[in-house]
Chains A and B, each alone.
Chain A
Amino acid sequence: MAAYLVRRLLVSLLILLGVSFITFVLLYALPADPVRQIAGRSATAQTVENIRAQLGLDQPLMVQYWRYLTGLVQGDLGRSYLQRSEVSELIAARLPATLLLMAGAIGCELILGLTMGIVAALKRGSATDNTLMIASFVGVSAPQFVVGLLLLYVFAVQLKWFPIGGYGTLAHLVLPSVTLGIMGSGWYSRMMRSSMVDVLRADYIRTARAKGLTRARVILRHALPNAILPIIAMIGIDIGIFMGGIVVVESVFGWPGIGQLAWQAIQRVDIPIIMGVTLVSACAIVLGNLLADLVTPFIDPRIRLR
């Protein structure tokens, strides 16, 4: 187990190094010149060269990358060109909001997805089952931008149940969480349904029934804990999927997380911020996958990590 963990962590580090290198090279290959953006449109050529030298952007790419890496191991993500603040501070200020949103989305996935999945499995083949599965299909395929605006319009503007975007209270969390989690809910409901259907066919369920237990008790105490296992491991992988979604959802709802930061930085080609957010997201994905792998043996003792 310990050897496995060490090996996985080493591989994770290599992956992160690879991500940092590829992102760095791609961003610096962009034709946009960050120095011109900083210097402004009235700057003379000399001013531009001065600033270029101050930022070390006149150095060869590999030297710049090495400098970035040496900063990185000391926790220095560099300074934003346009915001003129430490990238690590900008990310740290926004990370809690993103984590909260992800937690909300996971909550939504579990509540919506599991309920739908269980009901569909119990009513297998019925009209309810078909409706729920069509709904889950729509949830999986609907673009988040559209879902977000739709929810905003119906529940915030028309019904006034929730605030129109923003951040702060639990009420603010609901719509963005649902938007981000609705895709996962679709997946979860389908997985939960098939997992539940399998479990319900298992011998120990028949035994439990034969003992004369009530239907509710059989489902809640015997079937559910077993059926839910494969889904727990999915949550770690979800984090990676969320990373793509937060850019859209945070922009639509004015949610002050790192997705919004990334979107603004991309539009203005603020390279240090794009770099920073990419690395943080890559870390989250690698960690999420690692966690998913680590919890699996606890959930299912048949799986061993070597």
Chain B
Amino acid sequence: MRKLLATTALLAAMAGAPALAQDYTPDPNAKEGGSITITYKDDVATLDPAIGYDWQNWSMIKSIFDGLMDYVPGTTDLRPGLAESYEISDDGMTYTFKLRPGVKFHNGREMTAEDVKYSLNRVTNPTTQSPGAGFFGAIEGYDAMADGSATELSGVSTPGESTVVIKLSRPDATFLHVMALNFASVVPQEAVEAAGADFGKQPVGTGAFKLAEWTIGQRLVFEKNADYWREGIPYLDQITFEVGQEPIVALLRLQNGEVDVPGDGIPPAKFVEVMNDPEQAARVVEGGQLHTGYITMNVTMPPFDDVKVRKAVNMAINKERIIQIINGRAVPATQPLPPSMPGYTEGYEGYKYDVEGAKALLAEAGHPDGFETELFVMNTDPNPRIAQAIQQDLSQIGIKASIQSLAQANVIAAGGEKDQAPMIWSGGMAWIADFPDASNFYGPILGCAGAVQGGWNWSWYCNEELDKEAAEADSMADPAQKDARLAKWSDVYMKIMEDAPWVPVFNEQRYTMKSARMGGDDALYVDPVSIPVNYDYVYVTE
């Protein structure tokens, strides 16, 4: 066994010097106290970390709960959370986590290894109906949990009060990221059982904030957890989340000084107006996000079963023009991975916009006059407008695509059927990574596992050799192999581009706004993990 990482405190103690390595440099200007108001359009569904999986509750849950692993605020770098340190066995199959002592739940009880075990059993138990259960598939005993024949993961054991050992059934290089997901948050058994089905409304965690008030359909109030185990965090005393506010109304209220952060961002219709006003533009924060917008082509439906046709479509799409439709809030995509994702292939230019070349390729494939097809799209702005641009681009090379503009759930359902949607524009349903790792853009959306009825691989592309290569990459769990692993992933995505099941169109940038009194690094407002805002580290200046 090798010791791979110790916390700053441990390192400092070993070196006999205070605070040598810092994972995060606290903001010297940060002020304690104050309260802020955040708005969201949609109601908050649940704060149960095993269940919550949407835009509003993702970062709220991050602030109420902690997992064994965490990220350095504003970045995609892992750091220990409730685990003080961890060890990985040489074969990459056993993870031993040493828990931080003295961490208390909001109910005052100290967190122990048993709680970690309970939480993992709970999230993988099918009766919990967790949308994140599948992430834990590498833990030994997962399959028995999934089919209901076991109620405990055989791979999770607790040799001591503060030690958790997790055995895997296959090496998984992403396992530490999985342990940083909200779904891996540690919850206290007694509180879960006392609340029953309503734990999501009465959450108890170890996080920086605790839930103080929840008036359904109106507001949630978070209060500072004064006993939080991270020294000096959080800065704010209170956060009020007002729900049911249209983005356009939220922006008016922000301009009026009533709101500090509009959680749904700047509404597209107001974007130009805001950016043209220097006073407002100065408070806009821009950041990359782990997102790719793409067009899928169903490789099982002719004529998209011909790679030449798929390449021709790739060459026919004018990505720059599509980006203009969303006011330039994106960069053109060349490959499935977004540029800020480790494993992104630098220097690869993708298929260049070339109408004549596309026409020639289409003729070569036996469709000199094009063909008729359907393009499925989600029916909220700006997606239908983007679909129209795609339609025009396709008509340039003779492809007549009719647009099927449907509700989100209906597009997802059509994509999950093998013979329904020849083409889908992914906008509004596009893949945003669950965790910052190259593998997250493969399995469910480009691998064979997702090419099943009801799956998310809407191009139905299944290349078993690539599946093998992906599995090899993910078994390279030794950090020393990190670069080799990323190179392998880069290779996988390049081979996918050869087969062209997608047209990668753009990587959306996130734009958000804050009130003049909000302080803290801009990166916290476009945090790639605590989406949309890292509430624990922001503060008010007045």
Binding site for B on A (CB under 8 A): 30-33, 36-48, 50-51, 54, 79, 82-85, 89-90, 93-94, 97, 149, 152-153, 156-157, 160, 164-167, 250-257, 260-261, 264, 267-269
Contact = CB atoms under 8 A, between A and B. Distances in A.
Nearest to A260: B244
B394 to A, nearest CB: 25
Given A33-B413, A36-B412, A85-B201, A48 B217 contact: no
Interface in B218-261: 218, 242-246, 248-249, 252-253, 255-256, 258
Given A30-B409, A164-B252, A255 B452 contact: no
Given A32-B409, A152-B252, A165-B245, A50 B131 contact: no
A150 to B, nearest CB: 13
A83 B45 contact: yes
B129 A38 contact: yes
B454 interface: yes
Closest 10 pairs between A and B when the two form their complex, measured CB to CB: A40-B131, A32-B409, A42-B134, A256-B217, A93-B216, A269-B409, A31-B413, A254-B245, A50-B126, A254-B244
Contacts, number: 146
B444 A41 contact: yes
B407 A269 contact: yes
Nearest to B45: A83
A128 to B, nearest CB: 35
A85 B53 CA distance: 15
Nearest to B417: A31
A164 B407 contact: no
Nearest to B413: A31
B51 interface: yes
A157 B134 CA distance: 48
Interface in B39-88: 42-43, 45-46, 48, 51, 53
A260 B216 CA distance: 12
B249 A252 contact: yes
Nearest to A39: B131
Nearest to A42: B134
Contacts of B216: 89-90, 93-94, 256
A36 B416 contact: yes
Contact of B133 (A47, A54, A260): A47
B454 A48 contact: yes
Interface in B125-176: 126-127, 129-135, 137, 146-148
Contact of A167 (B45, B201, B218, B409): B218
Contacts of B147: 46, 50
Contact of A84 (B45, B135, B215, B409): B45
B413 to A, nearest CB: 4
A256 B434 CA distance: 31
A167 B217 CA distance: 10
A267 B411 CA distance: 13
B45 A40 contact: no
B304 interface: no
